[in-house]
Structure 1
Amino acid sequence: MKELRYLTILLFLVSCSSGHHKNSEVNFDKTLDSIGEEVSEKIEKSAPAFVDQAREFGLENIEAYNFNVVDLNGDDYSDIVVIPSFYSQPVFYYYNIFEKKFIKGESPFDSPIKASYLLFYDLNKDNILDVIVGVLNQKTELSTEPFRIFYGEKNKLNELSFKPSSHKFDSYPNSSVGLIDYDLDGDLDLYIGNWFFRYKGNPIPHKDFLFENKKDKYFDVTELLIGENKQTEFETMHVNATPTYSVQICDMDQNGYPDVLTTSTNSYRNNLWINSYKFREQKRYFANAGISSGFAADPEGLLNTQGGGRTFGLACADYNNDGIMDVFLGELTHNYDHQGIDRSSILTGRTLKNHPRFYRTEYTQDSFDPNWHQADRRALWLDFNNDGLLDLIIDNSGYPPYSKMIVFRQLPDHSFMSVSDELGLNILNPIATVMLDVNRDGKMDILTAQTSIRDEKIKPRLYLMVNKLDVGENRSLRFFLRGQNSNYHGLNATVILKTRSETDSRFQKQVVSYSYGALPPQNEEGIHFGIPANEKIEYVKVIWPYAKEKNQGRIHMEKVYKLSDEFDSFLNITLCENGDFLIGRRECFASYSSE
């Protein structure tokens, strides 16, 4: 097998002032070009790469299947929640400020619970963390309540505990959930993605659900997903249902209203639900633009109903800083697959007019080994060297010895070069990778786990890969959003940072989304932007996820924050919805109470 580090993805994008792109040339080069050779040489000579410090931070000899990086005790330091196996009791590790490491502690749940994934967010706007408990039910029906909500409470000592919600959800094979405020009323609604259920012994795709949150009661409004409720004549199955495996909430058309991206396995099409508005009925609805945008499948796959891929990974971002959202799709492919099977791809956004359109760039590894497979199950966009360009980390997992973590560094021309080996991130069988800044140095670190899937000789363990790269005079900003009318964490917001050099301006854009993908792990809170050494900050703009009217224009959701450029290597800033900002990770209560 040729090593993936010799694969360079070149995405030459020519943009014009109208926001449209001319035809994009895509080239796969199996030897590094001159730019790639120069960058690779700099990494090898000057960078100490990523270093595993699980032992130093008290996380040695821990098995993990899923992660949440979240501040549970309100000390402004992130703690780590570990789910050891596919369906198990979570274990809680609290960061000790004095010992500077994580220490195993008590569970905040009154009674033991088991889960496949957890999401810790404030769901009822009381400024206290709540939690969603999810289980991917299959043959064994692991839990009669696979999807539950627990609300957080604090006692006089400010200790957090979780109490079960009175709202009960039916048992479905939920694989993922997206927290979405679809109508921007300030309350987080739920998009629940479902995989397969069994009907007369056969696996059948289950429809997805959209639940609207009204005063902590959740009402089924799936009819807003046009076509999702359509059934066969005898109502035995839903004709448009797909086996959803990953979900992410992302404002793809940049109108301020969050859209929904879902991926499907077993050759079914992916769905791109665009949040739209019916003027006559004065209500919002979701139109599926998967086919028209090219998100559903590659061009060959669009020709038939089940011409898609086996899509597991999903991550949206504006990687090339052109103001148009892009997407990474991770696929499961085998050496013996025919050319019609979708490969893992970067979908580069083409236009903001009407519904999104994409250029699709596929990549794959080459091998003549019949046992070779590639399974890109999860992906993260992050700027690990603070150069203002998003890099890409992929969990290629489940088929050792070929499945290793893949790291693509983005080069100035928006091409990508694999640098996994140079950075020390070629971890075998990675799973549930999340990002955090564990040592608070302004550079993003990686928390991941290694599994023994398909190779029992592999020792399952946790890796805490601390970023030791020398980023020179590059700097970084980290923004923490605190909603007032919108949700507490600012989920579904869009953050735009403008910087300038002597010759040009740069606009970086990110959507506030910390939990996404399949059985979604949870990244550490805070939106991270790298700033090249020659650039200065002009402002940051936030499109807040709150609207006073059902079809309010985006301009009424925007707040612009003028920031000083006088800081050294990194700075954390809290952005308040009323337009104020605070240095550090803080609360906006005083700012809001003074209004």
Structure 2
Amino acid sequence: MRLFIALVLVAGLVWPSSPYAPRFENIARRAGLTQVFPNGGENSKKYIIETTGSGIGFIDYDNDGLLDLFVLSGEGGTNRMYHNEGGARFRDVTASVGLLSSGWAQGVCAGDYDNDGYTDLFVTYWGQNHLYRNIGGKHFEDVTEQAHLTQDRKRYNTGCSFVDIESDGHLDLFVANYLKFDPASTPQPGANPYCYYRSIAVNCGPRGLPFDRNILYRNNGDGTFRDASDASGISSPFGHYSLGVLTGDFNGDGLPDIYVACDQTPSLLYVNKGHGRFEEEGVLDGVAFDANGKAMSGMGVTAADYSGDGHLSIFRSNFSDEFETLYRNRGDGTFDDVTLEAGLGHNTRFVGWGASFFDFNNDGWKDLILVNGHAFPEVDSLHLDIHYKDQAILYQNLGAGKFRDISEAAGPGILEKHSSRGLAVGDLDNDGLLEIAINNQNEPPSLLKQVSRPPGNWILIQLIGTKSNRSAIGAQVKLTAGGRTQIDEVRSGGSYLSQGDLRLHFGIGDATAVDRIEIRWPSGLRQVVTDQACDRTLQIREGAVELRNNKAVSARSY
């Protein structure tokens, strides 16, 4: 009897008790998001640039406390900024804020690179990238040339991330490069074995197309950057088709590392060795291949402490006929492929792109959303269980390291079929329920809102750096509530070429207050905040000492 009671108590700490079933609906049309974003041919694609698609981002550009939406476009359209008007309505302000554009936009990442209190944007392109400085929350100025970020040639830039690699308070910039692409010299569909999918001729690549190198720009602290790719070791690995980018302190040494999902080649883990130097350790640390030693077709990437062990694990989306891959962090920065054990190994017909861990039911366990869509529209002619447009997948975290696919019961928004690419998660109306923005090929974006209400409580934390970079990118938060501790980090970029909410959302289940919040700032400062009310947004400034809920907020360095 005592053993039975003990097992029940342990299970109560591990397994979510709520039978709650979410219902997600696509509210994009009634929110005012009706613009089609072109990305190459609809029924066939001649070149690989038409297949990789574009990202999407949440950014509160005017500091009004509401997340705005930035959607990227391929050639023939413009990127668009939508201002959040409240009440789940958006207004297109692209022209008035100076963000009209042209060309093949790929990825977006956000961060306050000049520490002026307004979040800036970096957009990657096939061609020349663009750095947009936020001028007082009113408009953006293209400062690419002034910032010394003009590239020496046209490049196929993809994922990006602002990251403070030496914790000097200035955000540096990592940019992934997919391959060298020139339409004039690229073979036509069906021209060689790399230009077929099964029995049909498709656009060529990435195999057979030349590799390119990844780039690290160091922030000089005066509004300019310098190329430190060689000096840092970032450019050393060669022979990789780089796409999604993820930053995080994976080995617990207080320095941000960089993970890159690579297509048909081993994925990369740049481990920060300090003093501006990185070493690539993807193979050594177990995140380059799957459990069978195969280099997968990596696309999107996300990280979370999904198992509650205090360490950031990595999820990577891949191509059809492959498993999506979950790498569990052993606690020392090395990883095990636990995809099958976690229940994530059965959806092999999908081509996965944007992905994000998030807690949809506020039970304190990070769930997982993944969007899909084949690279080749021509697959529909095969009449197989493979489609160009496909549904998203929602996995519920069951605790104990296990997930369950609940897509069929999660509402029409999850089951809508699109050829999706970028995905971003954020709380648009500050109600503790996270929305999902999705960039779809040659369609308007999707905006998935949870119209049902989960029973769990929550807190949304906004960090403001003072000695650290203003965006607090790289800060780690350890939160304790209801007897459980969770961790997360503020990061720029991620998912697939996209930018999520820079604020950190924590579900706390049945707990009615947050007992303790410990922040490890990039500067090295450790700050502790205690006894906080839940179901609200909490703003914490680095090093501040003030009264909140009649308790002193203190800070100290270790």
TM-score class, shorter-chain normalisation, is 0.7 to 0.9
**1:465–1:148 CA distance, 2 compared to 1 (3 A):** closer
Q: 1:163 to 1:108 in 2, by over 3 A?
A: farther
Secondary structure class of the residue paired with 1:196: coil
Instruction: Report how far residue 247 of structure 1 moved.
Output: 0.9
Answer yes or no: is the 8 Å Cα contact 1:271–1:290 preserved in 2: yes
- Go from structure 1 to structure 2 and tell me whether the alpha carbon gap of 1:558 and 1:385 turns closer, same or farther (over 3 Å shift): same
Aligned to 1:269: 266
**What is the aligned partner in structure 1 of residue 189 from structure 2?**
none
Does the 8 Å contact 1:149/1:164 carry over to 2?
Answer: yes
Q: What's the TM-score once normalised by structure 2's chain length?
A: 0.78
Q: Which residue of 2 aligns with 1:375?
A: 351
Is 1:543 aligned to 2:511, yes or no? no
* 1:386 corresponding residue in structure 2: 362
| Matched positions, count | 475
Q: CA deviation at 1:488?
A: 1.3
Q: CA deviation at 1:512?
A: 0.7
Higher alpha-carbon deviation: 66-75 or 256-265: 66-75
Partner residue in 1 for 2:417: 428
Structure 1, residues 111-156: CA drift from partner, whole Å, max 9, x if none? 8423333334321112233221310x2xxxxx3xx212232324xx
Q: Which of 327, 341, 353 is equivalent to 1:347?
A: 327
Residue 213 in structure 1 maps to residue 213 in structure 2: no
| 1:164-204 Cα distance to aligned partner (Å, 9 max, x none) | 24122333221111211111101111111111115986621
Structure 1 residues 106 and 310, CA gap change in structure 2 (3 angstroms):
closer
Corresponding position: 1:509 with 2:487: yes
Query: How big is the shift at 1:582?
Result: 8.7
CA contact (8 A) 2:424 2:436 kept: yes
How many Å separate the matches in 2 of 1:444 and 1:517? 15
Q: Confirm or deny that 1:102 pairs with 2:90.
A: yes
- Give the secondary structure class of the aligned counterpart of 1:292: helix
- Consecutive unaligned residues of structure 2, counting only runs of 5 or more, are 1-14, 39-53, 187-207, 375-385
- What do residues 497-517 of structure 1 show as CA deviations (whole Å, max 9, x unaligned)? 0123xxxx3111111124214
Q: What is the CA distance between 1:79 and its match in structure 2? A: 1.8
User: How far apart, in 2, do the equivalents of 1:299 and 1:413 lie?
Assistant: 20
Matches within 5 A, 1:294-313: 294-301=286-293, 307-313=294-300
Asked if 1:561 corresponds to 2:550, the answer is: no
Q: How has the CA–CA distance of structure 1 residues 122 and 253 changed in structure 2, closer, same or farther, with 3 Å as cutoff?
A: same
Aligned counterparts of 1:54 and 1:74: Cα–Cα separation in 2: 23
Q: Which residue of structure 1 aligns with residue 430 of structure 2?
A: 440
Could you say which residue in structure 1 is the equivalent of 2:277?
285
Conserved? CA contact 2:71–2:439, under 8 Å: no
State the Cα distance separating 1:285 from its structure 2 match. Answer: 1.6
Partner Cα distance (1:483, 1:75) in 2: 18
Alignment of 1:102-501 (within 5 A): 102-108=90-96, 110=98, 112-114=100-102, 115-135=105-125, 137=126, 143=127, 146-154=128-136, 159-165=138-144, 166=146, 167=148, 168-171=150-153, 172-197=155-180, 203-214=209-220, 215-226=222-233, 228-229=235-236, 240-266=238-264, 268-277=265-274, 283-301=275-293, 307-334=294-321, 343-352=323-332, 355-362=333-340, 363-365=344-346, 373-398=349-374, 400=387, 403-424=390-411, 425-429=414-418, 430-451=420-441, 460-472=443-455, 474-500=456-482
Change (3 A) 1:86 1:333: farther
Classify the secondary structure of the residue corresponding to 2:180. strand
Partner in structure 2 of residue 577 of structure 1: 542
Displacement after TM superposition at 1:557 (Å)? 2.8
Judged with a 3 Å threshold, the aligned counterparts in structure 2 of structure 1 residues 152 and 310 are, in CA distance, closer, same or farther, namely same
Any idea what SS the aligned residue of 1:478 has?
Answer: strand
Query: Would you say the 8 A contact 1:478–1:527 is kept in 2?
Result: yes
With 574-583 and 343-352 compared, the bigger mean Cα shift is at 574-583
Q: Secondary structure at the match of 1:351?
A: coil
**Separation in 2 of the partners of 1:377 and 1:106?**
26
Q: Give the corresponding residue for 2:78.
A: 89
* Structure-2 change in CA distance of 1:528 and 1:153 (3 Å): same
Q: Which secondary structure does the structure 2 equivalent of 1:295 belong to?
A: coil
Change (3 A) 1:374 1:134: same
Question: Deviations along 1:504-547, whole A, 9 cap, x unmatched?
Answer: x31111111242144x222233110001114642111111112x
- 2:320 is aligned with what amino acid? T
Query: CA separation in 2, counterparts of 1:317 and 1:287?
Result: 23
Following the alignment from structure 2 to structure 1, what is the Cα–Cα distance between the partners of residues 108 and 339?
33
C-alpha RMSD of matched pairs (Å)? 2.9
Structure 1 equivalent of residue 5 of structure 2:
none
Give 1:444 deviation, angstroms. 1.1
SS in 1 for 2:209: strand
8 Å CA contact 2:111, 2:162 repeated in 1: no
Deviation at 1:392, TM superposition (A): 0.3
Q: Which residue of the partner structure matches residue 4 of structure 1?
A: none
